[in-house]
């Protein structure tokens, strides 16, 4: 009898364990062990496909990380971004922040296909995005974190939300901070998550105004190092070359580290939205200095902020669905 009582107590304890690492959201919990029984190889499969894609093209790590960000800021982390346009849906892929720049969808298709073979109708596209973002960070030398899981996929998209909610390269600091606060994120999250620009590229069209006409007076941005600006003008002319790519962090473009913040202190941030972290707000400038001096602190804050961002308004329980194909809703 005593043994049975102990066994029951142990089961009760184990039932609570996932909650220690969980995030409470309206409608349910997300926790890292969500697929431990229903699809034990889920995380391994995601990591394997992401590793293959990043080995083939280093830039893909930043692309996958960006997709998670652009998904979460619109209607929450629900894979709405992945839906293609249909009769009833206008895809978020058409929005200004995503058009001609959001990429990596084929990698997600490959992950989803592998997961459907392993455990059909189990792992959501929203969770695939969250895991792929974490794995991309780790593969490029960044921090590891446990990803809370259990999100479900939306049955709709929001083009207007994508156009309005995602911070833009030319937004003021206050506008960007407001967009973060509307998602329940704060200034630490803003600066730490901006550090994802330690990897990846930006197009000429995203920062051209800094080189030629920052405030409408026909003059370049005085907060941009002039020798760096001259270098950028070589491949980003006044007109044409819109799609030409430039490293967001020219020091270590495919390595996840704190050199991005060191670049900002040297006035060599590529996007206006990067450099204003130093020039438009004292509190954000202090955080930039801290991260530039302490890579471990940056990693710690980045990981915490990624978990926080991943918890924005997920669909849980019976809300939403588990899509069979990430690009389209299930047909019933």
pLDDT band at 332 (very low <50, low <70, confident <90, very high): low
Residue 24 sits at φ, ψ, to 5 deg, of -75, 130
Token duo for residue 171: 């937004």
Instruction: Tell the residue number behind the tokens 């455990």, with chain if given.
Output: 119
> What pLDDT, on a 0 to 100 scale, did the predictor assign at position 271?
97
Instruction: Tell the residue number behind the tokens 């308004």, with chain if given.
Output: 313
Q: Is 68 a catalytic residue?
A: no
pLDDT at 16 over 90: no
Q: Binding site for Ca(2+): residue ranges? A: 71, 74, 76, 78, 80, 92, 198, 249, 257
> What pLDDT, on a 0 to 100 scale, did the predictor assign at position 4?
44
Residues 116-140: what's their mean pLDDT?
98
Q: What is the CATH number of domain 41-200+248-311?
A: 1.10.520.10
Q: Binding site for substrate: residue ranges? A: 167
pLDDT band at 331 (very low <50, low <70, confident <90, very high): confident
Residues 194-206: what's their mean pLDDT?
97
Residues 6+ apart with CB under 8 A from 70: 81, 92, 97, 98, 102, 162, 166
pLDDT at 63 over 80: yes
Contact indicator for 152, 326 with CB cutoff of 8 Å: no
| Cα gap 106→250, rounded to integer Å | 27
Beta-strand runs (E) in 17-136: 23-25, 28-30
> Over the range 112-149, which residues count as b (16 or more CB within 10 Å of their CB) and which as e?
bebbbeeeeeebbbbbbbbbbbbbbbbbbebbebebbb
> What pLDDT, on a 0 to 100 scale, did the predictor assign at position 260?
98
Catalytic residue among 37, 70, 301, 325: 70
pLDDT at 116 over 90: yes
> What pLDDT, on a 0 to 100 scale, did the predictor assign at position 3?
45
> What pLDDT, on a 0 to 100 scale, did the predictor assign at position 113?
98
Q: Bigger pLDDT: 260 or 2?
A: 260
Contact indicator for 126, 79 with CB cutoff of 8 Å: yes
pLDDT at 10 over 80: no
| Cα gap 189→180, rounded to integer Å | 8
| Cα gap 122→322, rounded to integer Å | 7
DSSP per residue, 56-78: H-TTHHHHHHHHHHHHHTTTSSS
8-state DSSP, 51:
H
Q: How far is CA 82 from CA 100, 123, 128, in A?
A: 14, 15, 11
Q: Bigger pLDDT: 332 or 280?
A: 280
Q: Binding site for heme b: residue ranges? A: 197
Residues 6+ apart with CB under 8 A from 65: 133, 136, 137, 196, 199, 200
pLDDT tens digits for range 17-42:
444 455 655 446 899 999 999 999 99
pLDDT tens digits for range 249-308:
999 999 999 999 999 999 999 999 999 999 999 999 999 999 999 999 999 999 999 999
């Amino acid at each position: 009898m005593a043994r049975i009582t102990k066994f029951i107590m142990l089961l009760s304890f184990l039932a609570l364990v996932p909650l220690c690492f969980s995030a409470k959201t309206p409608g349910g919990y997300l926790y890292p062990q969500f697929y431990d029984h229903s699809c034990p190889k889920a995380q391994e499969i995601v990591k394997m496909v992401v590793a293959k894609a990043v080995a083939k093209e280093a830039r893909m790590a930043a692309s996958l990380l960006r997709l998670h960000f652009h998904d979460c800021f619109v209607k929450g982390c629900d894979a709405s971004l992945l839906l293609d346009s249909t009769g009833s849906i206008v895809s978020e892929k058409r929005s200004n922040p995503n058009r001609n720049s959001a990429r990596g969808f084929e990698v997600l298709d490959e992950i989803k296909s592998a997961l459907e073979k392993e455990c059909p109708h189990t792992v959501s596209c929203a969770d695939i995005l969250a895991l792929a973002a974490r794995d991309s960070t780790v593969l490029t030398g960044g921090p590891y974190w446990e990803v809370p899981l259990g999100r479900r996929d939306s049955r709709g998209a929001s083009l207007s939300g994508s156009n309005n909610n995602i911070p833009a390269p030319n937004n003021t600091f206050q506008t960007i901070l407001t967009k973060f606060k509307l998602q329940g994120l704060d200034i630490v999250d803003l600066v730490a998550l901006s550090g994802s620009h330690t990897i990846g590229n930006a197009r000429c069209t995203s920062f051209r105004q800094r080189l030629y006409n920052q405030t409408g007076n026909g003059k370049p941005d005085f907060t941009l190092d002039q020798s760096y600006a001259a270098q950028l003008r070589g491949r980003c002319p006044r007109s044409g070359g819109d799609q030409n790519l430039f490293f967001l962090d020219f020091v270590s473009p495919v390595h996840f580290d704190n050199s991005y913040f060191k670049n900002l202190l040297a006035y060599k941030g590529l996007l206006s939205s990067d450099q204003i972290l130093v020039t438009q707000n004292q509190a954000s400038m202090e955080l930039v200095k801290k991260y530039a001096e302490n890579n471990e602190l940056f990693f710690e804050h980045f990981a915490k902020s990624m978990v926080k961002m991943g918890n924005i308004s997920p669909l849980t329980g019976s809300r939403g669905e588990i899509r069979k194909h990430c690009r389209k809703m299930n047909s019933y």
